[in-house]
Amino acid sequence: MDRIPILKMGPFLLVTIQVDLYDRLALTLENDLISMVSKTGARGVLIDISAVSIVDSFMGRILGNIASMSRIMDAETVVVGMQPAVAITLVELGLTLQGVYTALDVEKGMELLQDKIGIFEDPEQDKEGPDDSDD
């Protein structure tokens, strides 16, 4: 069975969805991702959906679920690279993904995650390196 690879990058988990998500695959991803978060103690999850061209309400809900579950486990979720057509569809469906952070691309998403963690955890700032400061 297909599985979507989950990569660990420092304190973050990186998921790149390269195929159109059907329901089973989405559910598997949700399971895998949450168990990975708990296993690695990740602080952030970055989901790249730039290759996804079709979206339905189910997938919208899965994304929302992943974000809520991660938040409970102290990890922020950023969805990056959403296509205009996908965004319009989600809005028309009334799914605005409240509580999910979004960014234009992986690079900006990473910056956002580092920002979030820097804000929430001051003592670890030096551990994170110079990325937290803007100027």
Partner 1 sequence: MNTIAQILQSNRKKILENWMQNQLADTSLRDDLISNEELRRQSDELINGLSRATAGGNVDNIYAPEYEQVVEILSDISITRARQGFSPRETGMYVLSLKQAVTTVLEEKYNEQPEVLYKELLTVNNLLDKLSMVTFDTYIKGREEVILRQTDEINEISTPVIRVWEGILALPIIGTLDSARTQIVMENLLQEIVNTGSSIAILDISGVPAVDSLVAQHLIKTVSATRLMGAECIISGIRAEIAQTIVHLGIDLSNIKTKASLASALQLAFSMRSVEVRKISKNTGFQLGR
Nearest approach, Cβ of 14 to partner 1 (angstroms)?
16
**Exposed (0-12), middle (13-18) or buried (19+): which is 110, by Cβ within 10 Å?**
buried
In degrees and rounded to multiples of 5, residue 29 shows phi and psi of: -60, -45
The secondary structure of the chain in percent helix, strand, coil, rounded to multiples of 5, reads: 50, 15, 35
* Closer residue to partner 1, CB minimum distance, 36 or 97: 97
Nearest approach, Cβ of 80 to partner 1 (angstroms)?
6
* Closer residue to partner 1, CB minimum distance, 105 or 124: 105
Cα 96–Cα 100–Cα 103 angle in degrees, nearest 5: 95
Nearest approach, Cβ of 85 to partner 1 (angstroms)?
8
* Closer residue to partner 1, CB minimum distance, 2 or 133: 133
The site for partner 1 (CB under 8 A) is made up of: 79-84, 86-88, 90-92, 96-97, 102-105, 108-109, 134-135
